[in-house]
Structure 1
Amino acid sequence: MAAVTQKSVLSSVPTQLFIGGQWRSSLSETTFPVHDPATGSVLVEVANGTVADGTAALDAAVAAQADWAATAPRDRGEILRRAFELLTSRADEFAMLMTLEMGKPLAESRGEVAYAAEFFRWFSEEAVRIHGRYAVNPAGGSRLLTMQRPVGPTFMITPWNFPLAMGTRKIGPAVAAGCTMVVKPAHETPLSMLALAALLEEAGLPAGVLNVVTTSDTAVVSEPIIRDPRLRKLTFTGSTAVGKRLVEQSAEQLLRVSMELGGNAPFLVFEDADLDAAVEGAMLAKMRNIGEACTSANRFLVHESVAQDFGQRLARRMGALTVGKGTKAGVQVGPLITDKAREGVHELVQDAVDRGARLLTGGDRVAGRGHFYAPTVLVDVPAGARVLGEEIFGPVAPITTFSDDADAVRQANATEYGLVAYAYTRDHARVLRVSEALEFGMVGINTGIVSNAAAPFGGVKHSGFGREGGFEGISEYLETTYVSLNP
C-alpha cells in the first residue's frame, strides 16, 4: 500500500463544485485558496461558488427529491453502509487531508474519521426503522394512522473545526430519511467535504441527492438558498451570532431548522473527585481539537479544597504538551485555524491576567510561522474576566473555585449557553442532583467526552435547538402526516 503523503492526498482531492452528480467549475470561473494553518502556505485552490451556483445546486436537489424519497429504505441504508466501509478503509487519507486544512494532529484526525464514519453506520441502520402508528380513536368509530415522510430539500452549513464529522452527522440522517441536500462547507476547510462527496458518489448515492457548493462568500451565496420557497429545512453548526441571523432568514419560508451553536462548558470538580481521573478528563475535554470545539471545557469550576492541587496537576500536563505541525510525529497540539483566532484567544488571556488571574503555564503566542498558541492554565480568575463568559476556542484552561454544590450549579448555569457540562464526583446521589440541576443539553459525568453517534447531540438556550445523532437525529429530517380513517 502506497504511503499517504501531503502530495498524494492533495493531488487526488476534488477542487470543483459538485452539482447534480457533476464536478464542474464555478460559473464565475474563479477560485479561492485553502491555507495550511501550520505554515500559512496555500494547499490548493478550489472553485468559488456564486449565487447562481447555489441556485443550480438547489435546482438539482429539488429535481432529485421525489425519486430519492421513493427509494426503498433498505437501499438508502445500504448506500450509507458502503460509505461507512469506504471511509473506514481510507481513514489515513482523510486524516491527512483534514490535518493539512484544519491543523489538528494526525492522531486526532484519525479519531474524527472514525467518529464521522460511525454516523454513516448508525443511520444506515436507522433508515429501515422509520415508523408510524395505528390506533383506534378513543371515542370509537374512526382509526388514527400516522406516517413519516422526508422533510425535503435541505441546506446544510458545516463548520471548519470538525470538517468531516459535522458533515456526516447531517448527511447520514438526511440520506436515511430520504432528503436531498445542498452542503456549504466552511471556506477554511472545504477539502474534507469535497472528498466525502466523491466517496458518497462512489458508494452509489444518486446524482442530485448531495450537492456541494464551496465559496468564500458564504452569506451572499447562502441567503438566496434559505429564502427560496423550494427549500424545506436548514441545518447549521457554528457560532450563535451567525445562527441567529440564519434563523431570521429561515422565518420567511418557515423552514424546519436545526441549530448547533456556541458553548461555554463548565467542568466541575467536586471535593470527593478522583483528581487523577479528573485531570485526565480535563485534558480530553479541554484539549480535544486544540480546544477549538463547542464542547470544549471553557470554565473549570473546582471545589476550593482541591483547587490548588488540581491546578498544579493540570498545568504540569498542559505545559508538557508538544506543539507543532500536526503531520509531524509526536505533536499533540496543532495551530489554531487563523491568526485572527489566535489573537482572539490571546486577548482573553491578557484580559484575565490584567484583572488579577495568575498564569501557571503558557500565556502567549508561539513564535515562528503558523497560528500556534501555547497551552495555558490560569488560576484565581476573577468573576468578571471575559475568558469565563466567552467561548475561548483555544488551548486555555481558566480555573475558578466554588464552596458547595449549590454554588457550583449556580456558577455553571450562569451563562446564556447550554450545550454541555462536565462533572467529576464519586457521590452517586450528587450525580443525580447535579445532572438534574444543570441547564445543559448534555452532561458528562466522570468523562471528558460525550459525543457519540448513538446519542442525541445538542443544546438549550443560546446553544441552539434540535438534536443530531441517536434515535432523535433522524426525526429532524422527517415530517409527520396524520390520516383519519373512517371504516
Structure 2
Amino acid sequence: MTNTNTTDQGPDIARLIDAVPTGLFIDGAWRKASGGGTLEVRNPATGEVLTSVADATEQDGLAALAAADEAQSRWAATPPRERSEILRRAFDLLVERTEDVATLMTLEMGKPLAESRGEVAYAAEFFRWFAEEAVRIHGSYMTAPNGASHLLTMKQPVGPCLMVTPWNFPLAMGTRKIGPALAAGCTMVVKPASETPLTMLALAALLAEAGVPAGVVNVITTSSSGAVMEPLIRDPRARKLTFTGSTAIGRKLVEQSAEQLLRVSMELGGNAPFIVFDDADLDAAVDGAMAAKMRNIGEACTAANRFFVHESVASEFGTRFAERMCAMTVGDGLAEGVTVGPLITEKAVGEVTALVEGAVEAGATKLCGDEAVPEVGNFLAPTVLVDVPGQADIARQEIFGPVAALQTFTDEDDAIARANDTEYGLASYFYTRDHARAMRVAEKLQYGMVGVNAGVISNPAAPFGGVKASGFGREGGFEGIEEYLETKYVAMPR
C-alpha cells in the first residue's frame, strides 16, 4: 500500500479558502454571529485549521427563520418558470466551478479529490432535475361520483423548511434538499455540520449569484446544533423539518417536531448487507463490493456494512476483495493517486478501530488492514475481516469507515433472514445471475433501496430513502418534490 500525506496548502488553496464567506447568511446578507463567537474548521488530513466561521446562537437561528417566513409568500408566488431558471443557473455555476468546490470539499472533509469531483457532479444534478420538476407541479380535476360538484386538487408549498445536513456529503446532501424546496416554492434555514460548513457557505453564495432572492435560502453555522435548532423546530413559523444523520439524533428531532406537527423527512443510519450468491459473477461482485464499501472512504449511510458470501465462493471472493482493498493508496485526498483519505475526526478512527479489534477478539481474521498509514491525520488502513461472528458489534453497528466484515451463508433464505436482521433498512446489495432470484430477493429484502448487480445506486432521478430505523420520506426522483408540497382539495358545486 502506498501512503502519501500532503500538508503544503500553497497559494491556490489559500486563495480558495479566503474566497469562502465565513459569516451567517441571513436575509441575503452575510453577518457575524450575535455573540461574536467563531468555530474552527480543520483539515482532517493534517489537523491544520483552515479558517474559522461564525458560531450562531439561538438568536441568530430565530433571525434566519424570521427571514425565511417573511420571504415565503413572495417566493411561493414566484412563477414556476422563474424558479426553474434560477435552479438551472445554479446547476451551470456548480458545474463551471467544479474544481474549486471539489478542492474545498476535500480540504474540510478529506475524501479524495476524484470523489469530490464526483460529488459536485452528483450534487449539481439535483438542481438540474428539480429545475425540470418545478414547472411540472400539477393537481387534478374530476366530477364527483354523484355529479353534484367538481373536485379539484392543487399543490402548494409546505412553507418555511428547516434543513440539517451531514458532514460526509456536504454538498450533495444540501442540494438534494434545497433543490426540491426551491422548485416547490419553499423558503428555508439550512444548518450544515460543524465539521464541514465551508462547502455549504460557498453554495449559499453561489445560489445568491444564481438569483435566489434574499431570505429564501438562509444558512447558519453553529457548534451548538441542539441549542440553536430546537427553538426553531418548536417555532410555529417552521412548517417542515428534513434531517440527514444518525438515527439517535433523528429520533430526538422527530420528538421535538411533534409539538408543531411539522412535516418531517428523515434520512438516517444504515447497516447495508451485500450478498454474493453462489452463481454471482465474481469479477462484477468484487467491483461492486469496492464501490459499495469504499465510496466516500466508507463514510456513507449506504455503505456496505455486512458481507454475506455463499460458502462455495467465500474463499475466492474474500481473497480477491482483500487484494483490491490492500492495493488502495492512503493519504491526503489532494495528493495525486490517493484513493483513501482520512476519516473525519480522530474520534471516528478510534470508534472504527474498536469495532475491528472487537471482531478479532471474537474470532474474526484479518485478510488486510495492518498496513502503515501516515502518522499525521485521521487515517485508517482499508481492512477486510473474514469469519466475523454474527453477534459481533461490527456486524450490528454502522461502521462508517474503510472496513468490510465478511460472513458466509448456505442458502438463499438464510442470507435474506440475516440481511433483514437489523433495525435499519436503507440500502442493500446482492449479486446473482439468476433473474428469477433477482426479483424474489429484491422483494424480500426489507430496505428502501436495493442494488441488483450494482454497487452504486444513488441517482438524482430515483427516490432515495429507507424504512424502519433508517427513516422515512424520499429525496430525489419524482417523489422528492412531494416532500415540500401540500395537497389542497377544492369542492366547487356545478
TM-score normalized by the length of structure 1? 0.99
Deviation by residue 1:415-466 (Cα, 9 ceiling, x = unmatched): 0000010010000000000000000000001110000000000000000000
CA RMSD of aligned residues (A): 1.0
Deviation by residue 1:171-204 (Cα, 9 ceiling, x = unmatched): 0000000000000000000000000000000000
Which residue identity does 1:140 align to in structure 2?
A: G
Q: Within 5 Å, which residues of 2 pair with 1:75-90?
A: 75-90=82-97
- Provide the C-alpha distance between the structure 2 equivalents of 1:67 and 1:346, rounded to a whole number of angstroms: 51
Q: Within 5 Å, which residues of 2 pair with 1:33-44?
A: 33-44=40-51
Query: Residue 161 of structure 1 aligns with which residue?
Result: 168
Compared with structure 1, are the counterparts of its residues 460 and 364 closer, same or farther at alpha carbon in structure 2 (3 Å cutoff)?
farther
* 1:410 maps to which of 417, 431, 437: 417
- Provide the C-alpha distance between the structure 2 equivalents of 1:45 and 1:373, rounded to a whole number of angstroms: 27
Q: Within 5 Å, which residues of 2 pair with 1:3-402?
A: 5-363=12-370, 366-402=373-409
- Provide the C-alpha distance between the structure 2 equivalents of 1:307 and 1:299, rounded to a whole number of angstroms: 14
| CA displacement at 1:30 relative to structure 2 | 1.2
Contact conserved, 1:35 with 1:43, CA < 8 A, in 2? yes
- Provide the C-alpha distance between the structure 2 equivalents of 1:4 and 1:194, rounded to a whole number of angstroms: 21
What runs of 5+ residues in structure 1 fail to find an aligned partner?
A: none
**Secondary structure at the residue paired with 1:421?**
strand
**Secondary structure at the residue paired with 1:131?**
coil
Compared with structure 1, are the counterparts of its residues 14 and 64 closer, same or farther at alpha carbon in structure 2 (3 Å cutoff)?
same
Deviation by residue 1:18-46 (Cα, 9 ceiling, x = unmatched): 00000011011111100000011100000
Query: Residue 4 of structure 2 aligns with which residue?
Result: none
Deviation by residue 1:198-247 (Cα, 9 ceiling, x = unmatched): 00000000000000000011110000000001100000000000000000
- Provide the C-alpha distance between the structure 2 equivalents of 1:392 and 1:462, rounded to a whole number of angstroms: 16
| CA displacement at 1:143 relative to structure 2 | 1.0
| CA displacement at 1:165 relative to structure 2 | 0.2
Q: Within 5 Å, which residues of 2 pair with 1:391-470?
A: 391-470=398-477
- Provide the C-alpha distance between the structure 2 equivalents of 1:138 and 1:383, rounded to a whole number of angstroms: 56
Which residue identity does 1:294 align to in structure 2?
A: C
Contact conserved, 2:331 with 2:373, CA < 8 A, in 1? no
- Provide the C-alpha distance between the structure 2 equivalents of 1:224 and 1:79, rounded to a whole number of angstroms: 31
Contact conserved, 1:299 with 1:398, CA < 8 A, in 2? yes
Contact conserved, 1:264 with 1:390, CA < 8 A, in 2? yes
**Equivalent pairs, count:** 485
- Provide the C-alpha distance between the structure 1 equivalents of 2:472 and 2:17, rounded to a whole number of angstroms: 36
**Secondary structure at the residue paired with 1:471?**
coil
Deviation by residue 1:296-325 (Cα, 9 ceiling, x = unmatched): 000100001000100000000000100000
**Secondary structure at the residue paired with 1:253?**
coil
**Secondary structure at the residue paired with 2:330?**
coil
What runs of 5+ residues in structure 2 fail to find an aligned partner?
A: 1-9
Compared with structure 1, are the counterparts of its residues 367 and 81 closer, same or farther at alpha carbon in structure 2 (3 Å cutoff)?
closer
**Segments ≥4 residues shifted beyond 2 Å:** 363-367
**Secondary structure at the residue paired with 1:417?**
coil
- Provide the C-alpha distance between the structure 2 equivalents of 1:293 and 1:237, rounded to a whole number of angstroms: 11
Q: Percent identity?
A: 68
